[in-house]
A and B are shown apart, each in its own frame.
Chain A
Amino acid sequence: MKSLSHYLRIWLASAKYSLVRATMFRGDLFIWATVELFWISVNVIMVLVIYSHTQTVAGWSKYEMLLLVGTSMLIQRFLMGFFWSGIFEMGRNVRSGLFDFVLAQPGDPLFMASTRKLELDGLLNSVVAAGLVVYSAVKLGVHPGIAGVALYACMIACGVVIHYSALVMAMSLAFWITSSQGVEGSYFTLMEFSRLPREAFKGVASIIFVWVLPVVVVSNGPARELLHGFQPSWALGLCAATAAWFALSVTVFRSGLKRYTSASS
């Protein structure tokens, strides 16, 4: 078992490399930052159009909904910034055999595969998403204390881990199917649920998307914490879901890894 400091050193080296690379390809950074900004805008416009025809959706006002969307986007931007590139490339590398390169590195394959690259554009846009949360909170007259903000941040971190786990599981399909090309889209589809209020889910949808899959809890937990203060059931539910999903993703990844036959002869 490698020590935590060993992994921290590897991560810092990868982060440094990623930052140098980002500053070398400034045009690329600009394009991707614009892409992320556009997707945030698309979601905001969707909310604005719907609320131009109605006052509430599942009991949530326009700014409450924007706060929820901002929270969801914040989690997703952190995922994009810290893990997306590595996990996305994992699917292609498994197919091409380039995954050998990851296996030859001095650390856990999942860690090495998923933390290789830091994407500055995702991290830059997390500021935009955070801005949307702050703007909505101000419009709603919500003023959380330091403890409230800290708890919100912890819940966001839990959300990032759950998103990470879901993405790892989706991309691990590459070990079983010919190509994982397009499978990453499945992650984005599933995460669309995280932009919906809990109250909108009824019947079977509630069981699947609130209780079985953690996609709703991920964003609704932190958003509710900001709107209504500390709610133990949401906080504990989110922690339990985080632990369970991370364990499941590691298990799926390791099962897939056993099937990996490499590209070499």
Chain B
Amino acid sequence: MRKYAQSFVVGLQSNLVYRWNFAVRSVFWFFHLVVVFILWGAAFAGKDSIGGYSFKQTLTYFVVIFVMQFFVGAFNEDYQISEDIRNGLINQFLLKPINYFSYRLSVFAAARVVSGAFGILALLIALPFFRDKLDLPHEGWRIALGIPALALTAIIQFSIAYCFGLLAFWFLEIQGFVILSMAIETLLGGQIVPLDLLPPAVFNAIRYLPFFYQAYFPGAILTGRQGYDFAVQGLAIQAIWAFILVCLAEAVWLRGLRHHTAAGG
């Protein structure tokens, strides 16, 4: 366990080197929030609710999703893993008593601590402009269920990114797959529109996909878009998906190693 704690510390240090990148990203994610505010503000003009939710509730949903991504989003992990494979850096992990998934997970956790700090900073700067436009529910169970949901979201996001990164065992260039998956995840994860605004049949189908648990589900718990029963059921489905994806990541890793050729002295 100590070696992964050490990887976490090294990950913290290396991510702090890129602090300006995180800062720039935070600023522009704030702009993304402004787009949401303008678009939904215009859509709500002259209306009390859309899909049963007020403008404040809708904006709160997007703000929570926005901040959440800084803590649980896998932004760059797929690229880093694919670079490890392409450059042969992966070879050193094959010779050492270290589990690559756990190593990458600890580096991912470190990166999220750093980006999370910038997310909070961005939120604190933005809050004076948005404070009176937010409407967070206060039920305690939402926090109690929201935190494990967030942890599972992080595992799901990381595992998907890990699997895509491992595609570098088979393909020279994986960015196409990554961005294709990002488009699907962004839409089906509820980052473009709250998923409960989709037709009920579509919503019920998406509920059983892992993308649903990448952003919408924890966001919906924390912002009051879904009730207790839905949250408990969802948490069970989310845990199953997290387990499946971790197993899939291990299977892809083992399969990829069979393809891998470690060259050089």
Contacts and interface: CB of A to CB of B under 8 A. Distances in A.
Interface stretch (B28-36, B148-156, B216-224, B246-254): B28-36
A182 B31 contact: no
A42 interface: yes
A12 interface: no
B48 to A, nearest CB: 12
B35 A192 contact: yes
A31 B179 CA distance: 10
B201 interface: no
A179 to B, nearest CB: 6
Interface string B14-34: 000110111011011101101
Contacts of B25: 182-183, 185-186
Contacts of A180: 21
A189 B32 contact: yes
A185 B173 CA distance: 19
A200 B42 contact: yes
A159 interface: no
Interface residues of B, number: 39
B183 A38 contact: yes
Nearest to A54: B43
Interface residues of A, number: 38
B187 A45 contact: yes
A201 B38 contact: yes
Contacts of A54: 43, 47, 50
A190 B187 contact: no
A42 B38 contact: no
B51 A42 contact: no
Nearest to B20: A177
A142 interface: no
A197 interface: yes
Contact of A179 (B21, B43, B50): B21
B32 A46 contact: no
Interface string B173-189: 10011011001101100
Among A45, A178, A182, A201, max chain B CB count under 10 A is at A182
Contacts of A193: 31, 34-35, 38
Query: Nearest 5 pairs between A and B by C-beta?
Result: A31-B176, A186-B28, A200-B42, A38-B183, A58-B42
